[in-house]
């Protein structure tokens, strides 16, 4: 299969913006330049932006049904009173439908890769298989004793059943909930699993002040020391949040493989605080962008996250140039790919990389005039401006229609499940 994308503004994220064509052959970008050749499909991208698909580096897509259910609650009360009791009632089929709703939402707002941690995660894998999304998935390991052992066994089964499925589009890693919810024995067994599978680790990390306090009281350690002693940093590690990083922790993070995943909307909404992204990046630490689940973020639109991430650093530093629009776009593409350890395959438009591409039309009142394309993408574009999406060389959305699924049937299904659960 050959797809020729003609005459777009190519935002590769690794070289200057240029007008040109992209030839996709099977799952890869075969050529970028001025191309005239036969193709099975020709997409006219005149007046449109062609860029890498966005990477949502931290999600719980099975949580879509929690959108707007308990907006003004803080993290611990929110989890204990609003989230966990309902999650305990959810079936595998509920998680599949909730994941489908999220999958459609992600594709329709420009995300092509997501890094997810939840339960019944094989249902999320089935969603990614069906919709054509690229995914890194993990079964959330949390708690202690028999409960934790059961979850670790499920995490391993998920790996055995799904790792590298769908031509490698689906990868499985080890997902640990957080330092404060996992005692040393659970961390040790999770790390043993990562070792056995050769997998990266995805974990919530220094999200709230309360976590800092709890770790001090329970272990007389910071979360960083706790994870370092538990051997977590010996693996490629994807650390979600990193809101409360002290200077000693920052020093430790300089040596890790992986990086921090910044979730500005979720952190602000739950009152958790502001991650110092500028400081992390200036210390050579890679920072990805994520939305977290819809319970704490309400939408999976990465363009909202991009805007907020930029505004937040500018506000924190009282400086308009604290971070640039281009830098924040990198966090949602190539730098995000680095944090997830997949930058050799995705995150930029380059020959021989996987063809994960989105196309955005600019012929709209809120996107005119065009002075600077990075500025337009960082501050003006929203998810609904994405018209076409290609993942692994296959068109998954065209003219805003997500292919291979009945979107309205999924919406009706989720309405019905929500009525039963809440």
202: β partners: 175, 238
Q: What residue ranges in 151-308 does DSSP mark as E strands?
A: 170-172, 174-176, 201-205, 237-241, 258-262, 287-289
Instruction: Find the shortest distance in angstroms from Cβ 127 to Zn ion.
Output: 18
Strands 111-118 and 48-52: unpaired
Which of 122, 292 has the CB closer to Zn ion?
A: 292
Which is closer to Zn ion, CB of 293 or CB of 325? 293
What minimum distance in Å lies between the beta carbon of 300 and Zn ion?
Answer: 13
In angstroms, the Cα distances linking 110 to 383, 394, 398 are: 6, 14, 12
CA distance 201 to 238: 6
Residues numbered 201-220 forming contacts with Zn ion, rule: CB under 5 A: none
Q: Sign (positive/negative) of CA torsion 102, 28, 45, 399?
A: negative
Q: Measure the CA–CA gap between 224 and 142, rounded to whole angstroms.
A: 18
Among residues 211 and 292, whose Cβ is nearest to Zn ion? 292
For residues 95 and 139, what is the distance between their CA atoms, to the nearest angstrom? 13
Cis peptide leading into residue 369 (ω within 30°): yes
Residue with Cβ nearer Zn ion (88 or 282): 88
Alpha carbons 283 and 293: distance in angstroms, whole number: 28
Q: How far is the CB of 350 from Zn ion (least distance, A)?
A: 31
421's CB contacts (< 8 A; 6+ apart) are 65, 86, 89, 90, 94
Q: Which is nearer to Zn ion, 39 or 270 (CB)?
A: 270
Nearer to Zn ion, 57 or 128 (CB): 57
Number of residues that bind Zn ion (CB under 5 A): 1
How near is the Cβ of 261 to Zn ion at its closest, in Å? 9
Residue 273 C-beta: closest distance to Zn ion, Å: 15
Interface mask (CB under 5 A) for Zn ion, residues 36-75, using x and -?
----------------------------------------
CB of 122 to Zn ion, least distance (A): 19
Hey, which residues between 243 and 302 contact Zn ion (CB under 5 A)?
292
Work out whether 121 is an interface residue with Zn ion (CB under 5 A): no
- Under the rule (CB under 5 A), what is the footprint of Zn ion? 292
């Amino acid at each position: 299969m050959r797809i020729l994308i003609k005459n777009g503004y190519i935002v590769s994220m690794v070289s200057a913006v240029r007008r040109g064509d992209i030839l996709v052959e099977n799952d890869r970008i075969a050529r970028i330049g001025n191309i005239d050749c036969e193709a099975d499909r020709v997409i006219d991208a005149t007046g449109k932006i062609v860029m890498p698909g966005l990477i949502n580096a931290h999600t719980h897509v099975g949580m879509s049904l929690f959108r707007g259910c308990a907006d003004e609650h803080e993290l611990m009360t929110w989890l204990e009173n609003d989230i966990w009791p309902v999650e305990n009632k959810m079936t595998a089929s509920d998680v599949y439908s909730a994941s489908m709703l999220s999958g459609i939402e992600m594709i329709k707002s420009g995300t092509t890769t997501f890094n997810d941690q939840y339960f019944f995660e094989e249902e999320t894998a089935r969603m990614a298989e069906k919709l054509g999304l690229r995914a890194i998935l993990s079964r959330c390991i949390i708690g202690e004793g028999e409960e934790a052992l059961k979850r670790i066994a499920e995490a391993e089964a998920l790996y055995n059943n799904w790792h590298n499925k769908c031509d490698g589009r689906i990868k499985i890693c080890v997902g640990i909930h957080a330092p404060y919810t996992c005692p040393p024995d659970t961390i040790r067994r999770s790390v043993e699993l990562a070792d056995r599978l050769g997998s990266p680790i995805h974990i919530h990390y220094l999200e709230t002040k309360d976590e800092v306090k709890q770790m001090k009281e329970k272990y007389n350690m910071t979360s960083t020391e706790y994870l370092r002693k538990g051997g977590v940093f010996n693996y490629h590690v994807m650390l979600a949040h990193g809101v409360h990083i002290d200077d000693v922790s920052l020093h430790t993070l300089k040596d890790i493989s992986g990086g921090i995943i910044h979730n500005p909307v979720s952190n602000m909404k739950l009152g958790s605080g502001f991650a110092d992204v500028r400081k992390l990046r200036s210390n050579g630490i890679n920072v990805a962008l994520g939305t977290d689940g819809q319970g704490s973020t309400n939408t999976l639109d990465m363009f909202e996250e991009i805007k907020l991430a930029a505004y937040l650093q500018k506000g924190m530093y009282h400086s308009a140039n604290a971070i640039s629009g281009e830098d924040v776009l990198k966090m949602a593409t190539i730098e995000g790919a680095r944090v997830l350890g997949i930058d050799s395959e995705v995150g930029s438009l380059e020959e021989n990389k996987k063809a994960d591409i989105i196309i955005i039309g600019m012929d709209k009142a809120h996107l005119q005039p065009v002075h600077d394309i990075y500025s337009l993408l960082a501050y003006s574009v929203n998810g609904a401006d994405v018209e076409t999406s290609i993942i692994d060389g296959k068109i998954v959305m065209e003219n805003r229609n997500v292919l291979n699924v009945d979107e309205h049937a999924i919406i009706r299904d989720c309405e019905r499940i929500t009525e039963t659960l809440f």
